[in-house]
Amino acid sequence: MILDDFFWRALLAGAGVALAAGPLGCFVVWRRMAYFGDTMAHSSLLGVALGFLLGIDLMLGVFAVVLVVALLLFAFQQQRQLAGDAVLGTLSHASLALGVLVISLMPWVRVDLMSYLFGDILAVTVEDLLWIYGGGVVALGVLLWIWRPLLAVTVDEALAQAEGIPAMRLQLLFMLLIAGLIALALKIVGILLVTSLLIIPATAARRYSRTPEQMAVGAALVGVVSVGLGLTTSLHFDTPSGPSIVVAAVIFFLFSVVPLPRSS
Amino acid sequence: MLDSVDRTLLQASGISMRLGRLQLLEQVSLSVSEGEIVTVIGPNGAGKTTLLRILLGLLPASSGCVVKCPRLQVGYLPQHLTVDPVLPLSVTRMMTLTAAHPRKQIQSALEETGVAHLINEPVQGLSGGEFQRMMLARTLLGNPELLVLDEPVQGVDYMGEAKLYELIGRIRDRHGCGVLMVSHDLHVVMASTDRVVCLNRHVCCEGQPEEVSLHPEYLRLFGLESGTTLAVYTHHHDHTHHLSGAVHPEHHHTETGSGGQP
C-alpha cells in the first residue's frame, strides 16, 4: 500500500499542510502578520516542552501554547501602548528560549531538537496524516465560511465593523486557525520554517492573481508543488527535507518577482 | 435649528471620551437632520475621528449618549483607507466587500459618482480622487439615510476637492440623506455645507459656515497661526457669496497657506 512508503506519506502530509497553508497564508500576508506568525511558530517549542512535561499529545501542547501566545499578542495589539514589533520580538524569543530551557531541564526526555526546529517530514505516521487531513479540512471549511467577512476586516476594520461585521470575533477565529495550522505543520518543516509555508507560496501567487480567491488557490498550488519538488530533491541529493521544501517555494517566489518581458 | 421640520437622524448629547489621563472629547453635542450637511472641522488631534467612531457605535463613549433613528441606514467612508498592493482587489470586489449587490446596482452607484468606467480595475490603480469616489459610491449601495464621511477629500488635489464636495451636495439633493463629514479646513467645504461644528476636544463654535468663519474661537484655532491664512481667507469669503463652489486660481494659495496644520 502506498501509505507504507515513507516518501509517499511525507508527500501526502506535506501536500495536505500546503493546501491549508496557502489560503490561510494569503490572509497572513494581506494582514501583514508575517512576523506575528513567526512569533506564534517560535512559541511552539514551548508547547513541545510542555507536552513532554505534562505527558500530553505534543500537537495538543503546541496548539495550546501557540493559541495562548496569539491571544497575548492580540491583547497587546488592542492596547497600543507598546510598539507592536518590540512586543512580537520579545514574545518570540522569550518563548523559544523558554522552550529550549524547559526541554533541557528534563534530562529523562530524549529530544532531537533539530527535528523540531527544522521538521522531520520523513517520520510522518499514518496517524499524523489523519490529523493533518482532518484538521486541514476543518481549517479550510471554517476559512471558507468566514471568507467574505474576514476579507472585509482585512481591508478595513472600522469599515467592516460599521457595516455590521464582528471584527474581533473573526480575528480571534483566524488566530485559532493559524495556531491549528502551526501545530499541524510542525512536523513538516519545523518551528523555524513554519511561517515560510504560510507566506512564501502566497507571495509567489500574488503576481498571477486578479482576485483574492485566485491568490488563495494559487498559493495552495505553489505550496503543493514546492512540497513535491523539495521532497524529490531531498530524496535524490540527500538534503534535509524541510529546508528543501522551503527553498523550492522560494524559487517560485523569485520567478514571481523577476520582471518578465511581457508582464501585465 | 432653522429647518426643524426635518426629521432628526442622529442626536448626540454630552459625549465625553477619556483614554487614560487624556481627555479626547469633552461634552460634545451634535445633531444631524434629514437632508442636512453637517461638517466637523478641527485641527489634528481634535478628536474628529474619535467622535465619528462613537457616533457610529464603533467606540463606547466614557459618558454621554447617542440617539439614532430606529433602523437608521448609515453609509460610512472611513479615514485613511488604503488597500495593500499585495491584496488583489477590483473595484467591483471592493463594492461587495461586506455584502453582495447586483451588478446593475453597483454600476449605477459608480455612475452617480462618476467612476463607472473603473468597475473592473484593481483598486490600487485608482488615483486619490477616483478611490474616494468609489468609496462614496460604496456608501450609496445600502440606500443610506445618513452618510458619515471621514475626510472624504483626503488624497484629492485642490481642484478635485471642490468637485467632490459638489458631488456630495448633489448626492444629498438626490437621496435626501443627511451627511455628517469631517474636513480639515473650512475653505473648500464652505459652499456645500449647511452647518459647521468647530471641534477642538470640545465644540468651540457652531453654526452656518459664514458665522463660524468669523467666530473668534475659529479664528483662534485656524486663523492666528499665520496672518496670510486669515488675509487670503477673507478674500475667499468674498467670493463664496457670488460663485458657489467655483474655484479661483488664487485659492490655490489659500490651500498651501492653510495646509500646514497646527
Structural domain span for residue A107: 2-257
B131 lies in some domain: no
A157 lies in some domain: yes
Count structural domains, chain A: 1
Q: Quick check: B64 and B15 in contact, CB under 8 A?
A: yes
Q: Which of residues 103-142 of B touch A (CB under 8 A)?
A: 122, 142
Chain B residues whose beta carbon lies within 8 Å of the beta carbon of residue A148:
97-98
pLDDT tier for residue B107 given thresholds of 50, 70 and 90: very high
Torsion of CA A157, A158, A162, A166, to 10 degrees: 30
Nearest to A190 by CA among A25, A29, A23, A17: A17
**Residue A234's pLDDT is what?**
92
Residue B69: alpha-carbon gap to chain centroid: 20
Chain A residues whose beta carbon lies within 8 Å of the beta carbon of residue B142:
163
Nearest to B170 by CA among B214, B209, B137: B137
Work out whether the CA dihedral A54, A59, A64, A66 comes out positive or negative. Answer: positive
Give the residue, B257 or A92, on which the prediction is more confident.
Answer: A92
Nearest to A94 by CA among A133, A127, A46, A147: A46
Backbone region of residue B251 per phi and psi (left: phi > 0; alpha: psi in -120 to 50; beta: other values): alpha
A48 lies in some domain: yes
> What CATH number does residue B156 fall under?
3.40.50.300
Q: What is the pLDDT along chain A (264 residues), one digit of tens a residue?
A: 677 788 899 999 999 999 999 999 999 999 988 888 888 999 999 999 998 888 888 888 999 999 998 888 888 877 666 667 788 888 888 988 999 898 888 888 777 888 888 888 888 899 989 999 999 999 999 999 999 999 999 999 999 998 889 999 999 999 999 999 999 888 888 888 889 999 999 999 998 999 999 999 999 999 999 999 999 999 999 999 989 999 999 999 999 888 766 544
A264 lies in some domain: no
Q: Which residues is B23 bridged to in the sheet?
A: B18
SS3 state at A53: helix
B29 lies in some domain: yes
Q: Which three cell numbers stand for residue A13?
A: 502530509
CB contact under 8 A, B88 and A212: yes
The Cα A1–Cα A189 span in angstroms is: 25
Nearest to A95 by CA among A119, A137, A55, A64: A64
B117 lies in some domain: no
Most B CBs within 10 Å: which of A26, A147, A156, as the mutation test of the B interface? A156
CB contact under 8 A, A163 and B98: yes
Nearest to A246 by CA among A184, A188, A181: A188
CB-based contact, A23 to chain B, within 8 Å: no
**Residue A264's pLDDT is what?**
46
Count structural domains, chain B: 1
CB contact under 8 A, B90 and A210: yes
Nearest to A218 by CA among A228, A227, A233, A207: A207
pLDDT tier for residue B243 given thresholds of 50, 70 and 90: very low
B93 lies in some domain: no
CB-based contact, A218 to chain B, within 8 Å: no
CB contact under 8 A, A29 and B93: no
For residue A153, give how far its alpha carbon lies from the nearest alpha carbon of chain B (Å): 9
A263 lies in some domain: no
Reported as a single tens digit per residue, the pLDDT across B118-136 is: 999 999 999 888 999 999 9
Reported as a single tens digit per residue, the pLDDT across A226-254 is: 999 999 999 999 999 989 999 999 999 99
A74 lies in some domain: yes
CB-based contact, A198 to chain B, within 8 Å: no
The Cα A162–Cα B187 span in angstroms is: 29
CB-based contact, A177 to chain B, within 8 Å: no
**Residue B247's pLDDT is what?**
41
Residues 6+ apart with CB under 8 A from A156: B78, B81
Chain B residues whose beta carbon lies within 8 Å of the beta carbon of residue A149:
98
**Residue B5's pLDDT is what?**
60
Chain A residues whose beta carbon lies within 8 Å of the beta carbon of residue B93:
211-212
CB contact under 8 A, A155 and B97: yes
B186 lies in some domain: yes
Nearest to A186 by CA among A119, A139, A242, A124: A119
The Cα B201–Cα B27 span in angstroms is: 9
The Cα B116–Cα B137 span in angstroms is: 10
CB-based contact, B74 to chain A, within 8 Å: yes
CB contact under 8 A, A212 and B90: no
Chain A residues whose beta carbon lies within 8 Å of the beta carbon of residue B76:
158-159, 162-163
Structural domain span for residue B159: 8-73+144-259
CB-based contact, B58 to chain A, within 8 Å: yes
CB-based contact, A152 to chain B, within 8 Å: yes
B251 lies in some domain: yes
Three-class secondary structure assignment of chain B: CCCCCCCEEEEEEEEEEEECCEEEEEEEEEEEECCCEEEEECCCCCCHHHHHHHHHCCCCCCEEEEEECCCCCEEEECCCCCCCCCCCCEHHHHHCCCCCCCHHHHHHHHHHCCCHHHCCCEHHHCCHHHHHHHHHHHHHCCCCCEEEEECCCCCCCHHHHHHHHHHHHHHHHHHCCEEEEEECCHHHHHHHCCEEEEEECEEEEEECHHHHHHCHHHHHHHHCCCHHHHHHHHHHHHHHCCCCCCCCCCHHHHHHHHHCCC
SS3 state at A155: helix
CB contact under 8 A, A211 and B98: no
Nearest to B115 by CA among B102, B126, B104: B126
Chain A residues whose beta carbon lies within 8 Å of the beta carbon of residue B152:
none
CB-based contact, A206 to chain B, within 8 Å: yes
CB contact under 8 A, B78 and A158: yes
CB contact under 8 A, B56 and A211: no
Chain A residues whose beta carbon lies within 8 Å of the beta carbon of residue B53:
158
> What CATH number does residue A50 fall under?
1.10.3470.10
